[in-house]
Structure 1
């Protein structure tokens, strides 16, 4: 195995087994429920600094999908160090109040549980996600797919389990910066007021990406590198200092 800029977080990777989400048989197959990134019907909803958020109607759902695009001022290694940390949801995903890995898995295919705090009197939503990751050394691009697998964990009385959620994270290195595309469609179950749904579609990606850029530049996420096999496929992310 050859290494290129990377560290292995083998401990949690083995435990995590997978989640923004590799569902990767291929990116297109894994994200079959999501609208195409270049679909003509995307509507720009908000632009804040280096972040643009779009929404699009879904023919089989009353809830829109969103796409967020950003040029983050941090290298891709830092971002992947964040992504392989199962508890990092609390650091950067807006309203995430609980997150951990569970079950057996590996870098490419693993599971995570997370909770999203909702404003009173709306009931909190929880997610059981299968996460699949793939990367290519030649292009430098890394893709993560996160899909709801609700029956993998017992439900809680005080939370509503989200049974339909599909997310794609695409990371493209741009020197010391990283272009990130985040496409997501979630049907949150239960009754939700329209104002809340509409605000979440824009607020969550904007606030989350702003936080992700800050978090990825913290000291604890420095010094990581990406590890590729002899075919140029990403196999892990490791701390080069260890």
Structure 2
């Protein structure tokens, strides 16, 4: 009887070891897949002009290219942040921005923005609602995240953008300048050709960052 109990305990122990070994193997596979998913997020060079570097990548299940732009602005992070977060300045630096306003502000770090972007004739202009969150990171960096939200159209003559995400990362440099990284994806809706939207995405970032640099680096403009 005693021998049978020992035998059962030993078999149970071996079974638990197998379960543990299989669980560890599964965890390793899942962990490796998670790491590979980020490792495979490859950005490809698109354009480098006037100190502005632009890269792109194609995401599975998304129609258009996602862009990543980077440049140095010769102004402190606080000044660059103040310009980006001030909706009344949108038309002065964001390419094709016709109008921008705060719909509501839930806190200092969260608000909803309504914005109109002019599209070239004969295309209709676009409107978008952007849920905006601000995060103040370590070492003086600031992250601004914007994601589109669907609301009742404000103007019937516009097409509403229902899929857009924007992320600004502002990092201070040692010489009190700002390294800005701007990541963006948007689907403008409508029936515009794919190549036009992808090309316009490059132009949009290039001109917007150029305008932002001029505005931030010239004190009299602020």
Q: Deviations over 1:150-205 (max 9, x none)?
A: 21x53422110001101110000013211011111111111112342122121111
Aligned residue-pair number: 185
Report what 2:143 is aligned to: 143
Equivalent residues in 2 for 1:131-210, closer than 5 Å:
131-136=132-137, 138-151=138-151, 153-174=152-173, 175-210=175-210
Give the distance between the partners of 2:185 and 2:83, measured in 1 at CA.
22
1:154 match: secondary structure? coil
Q: TM-score, normalised by structure 2?
A: 0.77
**Greater RCO, CA 8 A, separation 6+:** 1
Task: Check conservation: 1:82, 1:221, Cα contact below 8 A.
Answer: no
Give the distance between the partners of 1:193 and 1:207, measured in 2 at CA.
21
Q: Which runs of 5+ in 2 are unaligned?
A: 1-36
Higher helix share: 2
Give the distance between the partners of 1:39 and 1:157, measured in 2 at CA.
41
Q: Deviations over 1:15-73 (max 9, x none)?
A: xxxxxxxxxxxxxxxxxxxx96x855211111012210011112111111000011112
Report what 2:76 is aligned to: 75
Give the distance between the partners of 1:64 and 1:195, measured in 2 at CA.
10
2:196 match: secondary structure? helix
Task: Check conservation: 1:68, 1:181, Cα contact below 8 A.
Answer: yes
Task: Check conservation: 1:149, 1:163, Cα contact below 8 A.
Answer: yes
Larger radius of gyration: 2
Give the distance between the partners of 1:180 and 1:91, measured in 2 at CA.
18
Report what 2:48 is aligned to: 47
Equivalent residues in 2 for 1:1-242, closer than 5 Å:
40-136=41-137, 138-151=138-151, 153-174=152-173, 175-219=175-219
CA RMSD, 1 decimal? 1.9
Q: TM-score, normalised by structure 1?
A: 0.71
